[in-house]
Structure 1
Amino acid sequence: MASLQSVVQRLKLKYNKSYTAPWVHLEKLRAIQEDAAERIPLPKDVRTQTVVAGGVDAEWVHPHEATKEKVLMYLHGGAYVMGSCNTHRPLAAQIARACGMRALLLEYRLAPEHPYPAAIHDSVAAYRWLLYNGVHPDDLVIAGDSAGGGLALATLLSLRDSGEPMPAAAVCITPWADLTGAGESVKTRAKADPCLWPDHFSFAGHYAGAHDRCDPLLSPLYADLAGLPPLLIQAAGDHILLSDSTGLAQRAKDAGVAVTLEVWQGMWHAFHLHAPQLPEARSAIEAIGSFVRRQLQTRGLGARACL
């Protein structure tokens, strides 16, 4: 049963939906998102530090009790055209705390100023920077929400194809993994979704440009996922991108990837951002923490067994 807080939050989102519609000017949408972020408090036990990671602006987000050796590389959402360290700092902090590790939050380049494949280049460069600076891949996890979830998968595919070491696991939160907009849920969940319009797929053109949107690095739903590390996919039941998550989970399973799919019924796009108000979001973040801790322990045990 949905919490009272989620009922109230859903009403707020539906009321404000027209203000974040894709026909609103992009600069205004960016300003709205940045302004909203200012009202979400950062946990008091978290400290931050700006850094340049492989040429990419980034920010360390370090909960007080987190270990320094283990790192969550976090890729923010925003349809590849919005979002920043500022908009996703509280969420990265909450997830990092649940996982018991510090987070590297990337300020990857955005479209349309920097279209595909700029975001992937930035993510891969930051990952290589972490390895160069002594972070072991067994102690690394990549995570992201929305477009950041799709970018996390594209990063894994790029690393796999270039023969580089894989992280211990990856987490995709309500991922945008099919830029074609062909998923069944785009139609079947359109009325139920309190956040997104089907017209939001117009943002895909800013990022993809003239490239084929079925390219696996643009739409990982169409990729061969073999060789990827264990995946946690958290989907929302009332979400036009639900098919992205269910399709990804099936393709990962078919490719022999260890995948966990969670569908949070009654929830919406990137509902984790509402964790300060929403018990369902806090529970989902706790589930991420449990998954990540379990995968890091399993990876560590496997490494020690090989010694």
Structure 2
Amino acid sequence: MSLRLRLFRGVMRHGMKPLLRRARGVGGARAGLVAVSLLFPPPFGPRSRREVIGGVPCLRLTGGDGAAGPVLLWMHGGSHVAGSAFTHRAMVGRIIRVAGGQAVLPDYRRAPEHPAPAGYDDGVRVLEALWAAGVAPGRIVLGGDSAGGGLAAGLLAEAEARGKPPGGVVLLSPWADLTLAGASIRSNAAREALLPAERMPEMVDLIRGVLDPADPRLSPLFARWAGSCPALICVGTTEILLDDSLRLAEAMRQAGAQVDLVRQPGAPHVLAYLAPWVPEARAEIRRIAAFLRSL
């Protein structure tokens, strides 16, 4: 583990995690994620523009070969209550700069003002609009991190059910089971660098609205899979959501999908977000870009 990664882990563990443990309401979490995102400015190269796709405000990032490359539909993280296209534009922009193509980042509706399945429904609307605009399903790659990784996995199941599977899916530390049945939520609680495990049940109640936590729109671990496209799943070994990735990868493999599961020793939640400051994060960006190019 690099010195820089150790430093960031320490800042998360002793600074950010205690703040999340004590936070009341979602305003602080939203403002905090915006503030953190300012430490990671977007890269030079990709062009950005705001547009409305399927009635959903989105940010589109375009690389040098955007007309010919993949279209990465990225659902941002933030525990379903925070985050935005703005807070995640830098990480996704770095992926596009290396991989080429373009990315679409929806500003989907968030809880508690808009409980589930509002965010999922917005993702479906954007996906349908891309299809209607003539983007071939196989050219689209679904992606997301944390809660957005769960949403992206749910969109994959929906696309497969409609017979329009994407070219692939990229999931970074996905939150795929809101029933909180993963053993690592307890076994990794003390080692987790960022997320306070004791707040997870409270978050689920804030997010789920009238849905059962096992509803596949919230917990894609329980979705029906067709195994139609390759997947890349990246997760740290000390994360409380480690088992969400392990069980999701196994479910996809049982359906016949080719799944590349990368377990990064000691990596914090959504390691790739720490690029360009952390060498392991830069390596993960390159891994994601190589996966996209392979499609």
Report TM bin, short chain. Answer: over 0.9
> Which amino acid is 1:134 matched to?
G
Quick one: distance in 2 between partners of 1:199 and 1:98?
A: 38
With normalisation by structure 2, the TM-score equals 0.95
TM-superposed deviation, 1:136? 1.4
Equivalent residue number for residue 260 of structure 2:
260
| 1:68-96 per-position Cα deviation (integer Å, ceiling 9, x unaligned) | 23311111000111000111010110112
- Residues 2-13 of structure 1: pairs in structure 2 closer than 5 A: 2-13=1-12
Q: Which position in structure 2 is the counterpart of 1:128?
A: 128
| Unpaired stretches in structure 2, ≥5 consecutive residues | none
Q: Percent identity?
A: 36
- Is 2:213 aligned against 1:213? yes
> How far has the Cα of 1:22 moved from its partner?
6.1
Give the SS at the match of 1:224: coil
Structure 2 CA distance for partners of 1:208 and 1:194, relative to 1, 3 Å:
same
Partner of 2:93: 93
Report whether the alignment pairs 1:186 with 2:180: no
Tell me the equivalent position of 1:302: none
Distance in 1 (alpha carbons) for counterparts of 2:274 and 2:224: 33
Give the Å deviation of 1:221: 1.3
- Taking the aligned partners of 2:220 and 2:282, their CA distance within structure 1 comes to 27
Describe the SS at the equivalent of 1:191.
Answer: coil
Q: Which residue does the alignment assign to 1:304?
A: none
* Structure 1 residue identity aligned to 2:87: T
SS of structure 2 residue aligned to 1:68: coil
Partner of 1:155: 155
- 8 Å CA contact retained: 1:22, 1:200: no
TM-score, scaled relative to structure 1:
0.91
Q: Alpha carbons of 1:22 and 1:98: their partners in 2 closer, same or farther (altered >3 Å)? A: farther
Amino acid aligned to 1:168: G
Please, what is the CA RMSD of the aligned residues?
1.4
Q: Give the superposition deviation at 1:194.
A: 0.9
Tell me the amino acid that sits aligned with residue 115 of structure 2.
P
CA contact (8 A) 2:23 2:29 kept: no
Counterpart check, 1:197 vs 2:193: no
Distance 2:124 2:205 in 1: 22
Answer yes or no: is the 8 Å Cα contact 2:187–2:240 preserved in 1: yes
Partner of 2:55: 55
Query: Following the alignment from structure 1 to structure 2, what is the Cα–Cα distance between the partners of residues 155 and 52?
Result: 19
CA distance in 1, matches of 2:80, 2:183: 22
Assess if the C-alpha contact under 8 Å between 1:157 and 1:217 holds in 2.
no
Unaligned runs of 5+ in 1: 297-307
- What corresponds to 2:14 in structure 1? 15
Residue 299 of structure 1 corresponds to none
One-letter amino acid of the counterpart of residue 197, structure 1 = P
The 3-state SS of whatever aligns with 2:67 is strand
Mapping of 1:220-231 within 5 angstroms? 220-231=220-231
Distance of aligned partners of 1:47 and 1:108 in 2 relative to their CA distance in 1, 3 Å threshold: same
**Kept after mapping to 2: 8 A contact 1:153/1:220:** yes
Shift of 1:145: 0.2
Name the structure 1 match of 2:24: 24
Q: Aligned AA for 2:54?
A: G
Instruction: State the 1:164 CA deviation.
Output: 4.1
Task: Read off the aligned partner of 1:20 and give its amino acid letter.
Answer: L
Give the distance between the partners of 1:293 and 1:26, measured in 2 at CA: 37
> Which residue of structure 1 lines up, in the alignment, with residue 111 of structure 2?
111
1:261-276 pair list within 5 angstroms: 261-276=261-276
Task: Indicate conservation of the 8 Å contact 2:160/2:226, yes or no.
Answer: no
Shift in Å at residue 37 of structure 1?
1.5
- C-alpha contact 2:46 2:96 (8 A) present in aligned 1: no
Counterpart-to-counterpart distance in 1, 2:217 and 2:52: 24
Amino acid paired to 2:262: E
Alpha-carbon contact 1:156-1:228 (below 8 Å) kept: no
Distance 2:21 2:101 in 1: 36
Q: What is the CA–CA distance in structure 1 between the aligned matches of 2:282 and 2:115, rounded to whole Å?
A: 33
| CA deviations over 1:151-194 (Å, ceiling 9, x no partner) | 00111122223x24111000100000011111111111111111
Measured after TM superposition, the shift of residue 203 of structure 1 is 1.4
Report the equivalent of 1:174: 173
